[in-house]
């Protein structure tokens, strides 16, 4: 009896590799398009490629939706930055407070961005 091939898994791997290629050739929107329908599980290569593509494409909504629960300090910083850019300041503040591992300089920078966005809103 031969090995069972999981078509969904194989298609996901193929889409991830194609997305990674699109990202490396400078086509971040195409990379995101290729990853539609691929499960972006925490720790997966597909998730990493998707986040990198979204950062390059400045697709902040996608980042916020994909990293709703950060799995690392790096993901938390990406999430907070995205939330600030889309104007979800209370949520960004809550994530920042919850993430004790963010170094002081990065934390200060994010706090400054939050404050600046709040000032801009009140004008």
Per-residue pLDDT tens listing for the chain (123 residues): 556 667 778 889 999 999 999 999 999 999 999 999 999 999 999 999 999 999 999 999 999 999 989 999 999 999 999 999 999 999 999 999 999 999 999 999 999 999 999 998 886
Nearest to 35 by CA among 55, 57, 20, 25: 20
Determine the pLDDT at residue 2. 58
Tokens 């329908």 belong to 37
Task: Answer whether 82's CB lies under 8 Å from 60's CB.
Answer: yes
Determine the pLDDT at residue 121. 85
Determine the pLDDT at residue 3. 64
Determine the pLDDT at residue 1. 53
Number of C-beta neighbours around residue 9 at 10 A:
10
């Amino acid at each position: 009896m031969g090995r069972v091939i999981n078509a969904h898994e194989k298609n996901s791997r193929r889409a991830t590799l194609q997305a990674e290629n699109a990202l490396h050739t400078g086509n971040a929107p195409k990379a995101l398009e290729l990853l539609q329908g691929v499960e972006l599980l925490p720790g997966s290569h597909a998730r990493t490629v998707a986040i990198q593509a979204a950062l390059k494409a400045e697709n902040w909504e996608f980042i916020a939706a994909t990293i709703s629960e950060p799995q690392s300090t790096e993901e938390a910083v990406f999430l907070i930055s995205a939330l600030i850019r889309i104007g979800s300041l209370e949520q960004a503040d809550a994530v920042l407070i919850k993430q004790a591992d963010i170094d002081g300089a990065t934390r200060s920078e994010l706090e400054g961005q939050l404050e600046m966005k709040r000032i801009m809103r009140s004008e």
